[in-house]
Amino acid sequence: MHRIISWSRAIALSITLAAGASVASAEQLVGTPGASARWGSGWIDLDQGIDLKKGDHLRLKVGGTANKVLVRFLDDLNRADDPVGVEGGIRDVPKDRVVEVTLAEDHPRVKQISVHGGSRAWNWSFPGDNGPAALEAVERVKP
């Protein structure tokens, strides 16, 4: 009986340590926000370019009334009118307004992160009741 209790305590301690070790930290990505009422989009121009890697996990706090958005990572601000850097297609905006993104590919030298709502963005069409999007904050979650 003593061994069973010892093993139970050891297992509980292992689970507790494993859970504590998996706590992730988040790095706030800092920059200047912007928005376009015409295009129903919002963005943050990052203070410093950043290399984002496949598998990186980001949390985007989405303002506005969009219930669906495109997320884009732009490395050249002169290409803002081109649909480059869009990651993952149309995404749902949950009730807490935090869109979780795990990158499917590398995005080197990102200078701007944006969300696009409204009725249309480039070749993507949203449902008729989709409102504009704003980007309030971006965090990179580190394991």
> What are the pLDDT digits (tens) for 35-70?
999 999 999 999 999 999 999 999 999 999 999 999
Sequence spans of domains, the chain: 24-142
Q: What is the DSSP letter of 78?
A: G
Identify the CATH number of the domain defined by range 24-142: 2.60.120
Q: What is the mean pLDDT of the chain?
A: 86
The reported pLDDT for the residue numbered 97 is 98
Q: Which of 63, 59, 28, 58 is nearest to 42 (CA)?
A: 63
The reported pLDDT for the residue numbered 15 is 37
The reported pLDDT for the residue numbered 23 is 65
Instruction: Write the pLDDT tens digit of every residue in 31-40.
Output: 999 999 999 9
Spatial contact of 136 and 44, defined as CB atoms under 8 Å apart? no
Spatial contact of 135 and 63, defined as CB atoms under 8 Å apart? yes
